[in-house]
Structure 1
């Protein structure tokens, strides 16, 4: 029986796609003028900043992460929006006794900032950010950490996200997984990783949590 839903944040609950792409473009244009397009930046959504910048400029990782975070913080609130039906669905799930948590590769302070923008801080019992663990998804650590904090067994939770890291992380941790069809990378991309469920709207969760 499902007792808890573990959500990725960016691209799953909060539409940060425009913010992330524009932030990457700001950082990359500064270092590599004309070499990257917004389309190129889609593949950077999901992995940690460290993983991404290790591939792009292994000798300048810290500087590029700092530049990314500075611009991202400055423009965050104006460039993010809630996906359709997120708040109303989460409120109803919580009222029905489903426990809600966030497991993200974002830093905790930026997750909390996004929750404030959404007006959703009160809905989540637990927030696990990249600074709470040593390894981020697809490593199982963040998900197992969340289960431990919530006092739950693996068969009592679902990991929900918009990226391969979320599905692979869930599978590595031994929990059920759900992809979101509104992922910027597309439903077909997520299907490659064989999630147990595919959400076409947040309200699809009502039927899933009622399953035995």
Structure 2
């Protein structure tokens, strides 16, 4: 199974940097990375992912420098990344998800995508990739759920249950 993850508010609690990310004040956002917090259970999720050798790609609307800094600080080691400058069109368009599939050398039915915003779900659904709404970081749950995710998870550890189910 190939995994596609949004970064901010899906893998890591980066709420304190949101105003700076939205305003493209990247130096300030970079300075806050050590202050981000790990979601409870995310380490166990990635232990499971690494133990099973699942390849994963991070798809983010942030620039690659930011994504690299967050991954380095918090121990994420994605096989691939799709960042802001990698595609002309951004989520909710499926282009970033399709690029992730291409990098992973995977078909849509060989992947699953995780995100906290409706744009993550819409992009995944448009690429025919099963989508997972991650509620722990969602700022607008109603809009997220109205995007029709394939699965809904309330906390990170539920990701493991989905992955176990898909691989049986």
What TM-score do the two structures reach when normalised by structure 2? Answer: 0.90
Instruction: Identify unmatched segments of 5+ residues in structure 2.
Output: none
Residue number in structure 2 paired with 1:70: 27
1:84 aligns with 2:36: no
- Residues 56, 104 of structure 2: 8 Å contact kept: no
| Structure 2 counterpart SS, 1:155 | helix
Q: What is the rounded CA distance, in whole Å, between the counterparts of 2:103 and 2:75 in structure 1? A: 24
Residue number in structure 2 paired with 1:154: 108
**How far apart are 1:120 and its partner, in Å?**
2.0
Instruction: Identify unmatched segments of 5+ residues in structure 1.
Output: 25-48, 50-63
Alignment of 1:31-180 (within 5 A): 49=22, 65=24, 68-73=25-30, 75-121=31-77, 124-180=78-134
Q: What is the rounded CA distance, in whole Å, between the counterparts of 2:33 and 2:103 in structure 1? A: 30
Q: What is the rounded CA distance, in whole Å, between the counterparts of 1:176 and 1:165 in structure 2? A: 14
1:18 aligns with 2:16: yes
- RMSD of equivalent CA atoms: 1.7
**How far apart are 1:19 and its partner, in Å?**
1.6
What TM-score do the two structures reach when normalised by structure 1? Answer: 0.72
Q: What is the rounded CA distance, in whole Å, between the counterparts of 1:105 and 1:149 in structure 2? A: 17
Q: Deviations over 1:142-168 (max 9, x none)?
A: 111111111111111111100011001
Which of structures 1 and 2 has the bigger CA Rg?
1
- Residues 14, 33 of structure 2: 8 Å contact kept: no
Q: What is the rounded CA distance, in whole Å, between the counterparts of 1:184 and 1:158 in structure 2? A: 18
**How far apart are 1:186 and its partner, in Å?**
4.3
| Structure 2 counterpart SS, 1:211 | helix
Q: What is the rounded CA distance, in whole Å, between the counterparts of 1:91 and 1:111 in structure 2? A: 20
Tell me how many residue pairs correspond in the alignment. 166
Q: Deviations over 1:93-133 (max 9, x none)?
A: 22123222101111111011001111223xx1111111111
